[in-house]
Chain A
Amino acid sequence: MAIAPTSSRGGYIERPRPSGLADVIDVILDKGLVIDAFVRVSLIGIEILTIDARIVIASVDTYLRFAAAANRLDIGSSEGAEGLPDLMESVTSGGAASKTKGVLEGVKEKITGGDEDSGDKDSGDTEKEPARRSSRSSSRSSGSGSRSSGGSRSSGGNRSSKS
């Protein structure tokens, strides 16, 4: 999007980055005033959202995952003794880390995918934009600001293109 992610790791953090839905999905589902006894609407798909927001940490699955990840690590002293080829080691351990991430993020994408641009549409779910990013500046700029999506807009740049 128009906003460069706040890079950690070496970069200096100057200000909070504007939130995306993925950043706040768990607080939206979990926090806020609860008005007792008046929630009567059924929530379709809430289970998926909730599961995503609460990936359980203390479970056998997690233990096995930690163990598998630890076993794949290529640790100096044991490397030769184990006799596993270096190449295979690095491929599998790298693959494992990113695969896990991929699964977690994949779920999140289902929920938040493309929200930055399609949120104000009437039916974001039925109407697919094949190339959201590039179509944004041209096709959706009915107003005057068609050149404003360049990449230097600060807060609000990821909201609707009207505003």
Chain B
Amino acid sequence: MAEGAVYVYGIIPAAEQGTLSVTGVADRDVRLIPHGPVAALVSDFDDDALAAAREVRRHWRVLEQASKAATVLPVRFGTVMESDDVVREEMLVPHAERLEALLRELEGRVQLSLKGGYDEEQLLREVIAGSPAISKLRERVRMLPEAAGYYERIRLGELIASEVGRRREQDTGVALTMLEPLAVAARAEEPRRPDAAFDLSFLVERDGIDSFSQAVGALDEKVGARIQLRYVGPLPPYSFAQDELTAGADPWA
């Protein structure tokens, strides 16, 4: 068993040795490879390929489950190492100190995610009403036959997109101003959908979830008429475990 390759889910403190009741990727049991103060959460893996659509769910469940009992440093989906020995010698031994520090840093803290989405129609109405240039161009484009107005339409869309971008920035700022003081750390991701307002991740003390949620409620009261909030968590601190484990990499900052 220790001969074969292993799939790596994450790192937990070695002291926290709960049993996991979930099945890992490729239907294998999840187990630990401990080294000193840290342990890698792994399962055996002897295929060459991973059916991502199915296994990403397993990956997610294992981390969800593990994070209920322990602080977990999630490892990027799809990470496989050659053997238990390699996990120990290449990952745990050289990085033990750093991993331990990261775990300590994240102890008692969880990730909360907050996504904001616009109602596209409402957003566009506001954008058009707020900009004479866009409004005028729109009128012109509407008069043109479909085929003739191609470049005008691109121009119109571009103007709208840039105005939407400005609004995004504004709204992201509002959200961060209200929420960041209640979090240990915050990350803003590039919105991935055209109607997205913001995509924020916060690292929050477990004890502080309630007051953070209150602030989210206050934000909702403020922007809820324009922005639909999706507030999810607690999650393992995916967005706050972004180190690359290579020799000589920068320490956690």
Contact = CB atoms under 8 A, between A and B. Distances in A.
B198 to A, nearest CB: 13
B33 to A, nearest CB: 13
Contact of B217 (A13, A31, A82): A13
Given A23-B230, A68-B153, 4 more contacts: A32-B74, A57-B161, A70-B138, A100-B194
B244 A28 contact: no
A46 B78 contact: yes
Contacts of B154: 60, 63-64, 67
A23 B213 contact: no
Nearest to A118: B57
Interface string A21-33: 1011111110111
A62 B58 CA distance: 33
Query: In which size bucket is the chain A interface?
Result: 35 or more
B245 A36 contact: yes
B222 to A, nearest CB: 12
A163 interface: yes
Give the top 10 A-B pairs by smallest Cβ distance, nearest first.
A63-B157, A67-B157, A16-B233, A66-B157, A32-B74, A32-B76, A27-B238, A36-B246, A67-B153, A31-B238
Contact of B81 (A6, A23, A38): A38
Contact of B244 (A23, A27, A36, A49): A36
B160 A70 contact: yes
A53 B192 contact: yes
Interface in B114-171: 120-121, 124-125, 127-129, 134, 138-139, 141-142, 153-158, 160-161, 164
Interface of A: 6, 8-19, 21, 23-29, 31-46, 48-49, 53-55, 57-58, 60, 62-71, 73, 75, 78, 82, 93, 97, 100, 104, 110-112, 115, 119-120, 122, 124-125, 159-160, 162-163
Given A39-B78, A111-B56, A15 B124 contact: no
B52 A46 contact: yes
A81 to B, nearest CB: 8
A14 B246 contact: no
A82 B112 CA distance: 47
B216 interface: yes
B11 interface: yes
Contacts of B235: 19, 24, 27
A10 to B, nearest CB: 6
B232 interface: yes
Nearest to B190: A57
B242 A32 contact: yes
Contact of A66 (B51, B125, B164): B164
Given A12-B220, A19-B233, A75-B125, A24 B52 contact: no
A94 to B, nearest CB: 8
B74 A63 contact: no
A43 B164 contact: no
Contacts of A69: 120-121, 124
Contacts of B53: 45, 48-49, 110-111
Contacts of A43: 49-50, 52, 78
Contact of B246 (A18, A37, A66): A37
Contact of A62 (B76, B134, B161, B229): B161
Given A27-B201, A69-B124, A73-B125, A33 B242 contact: yes
Contact of A39 (B49, B80, B155): B80
A72 B246 CA distance: 52
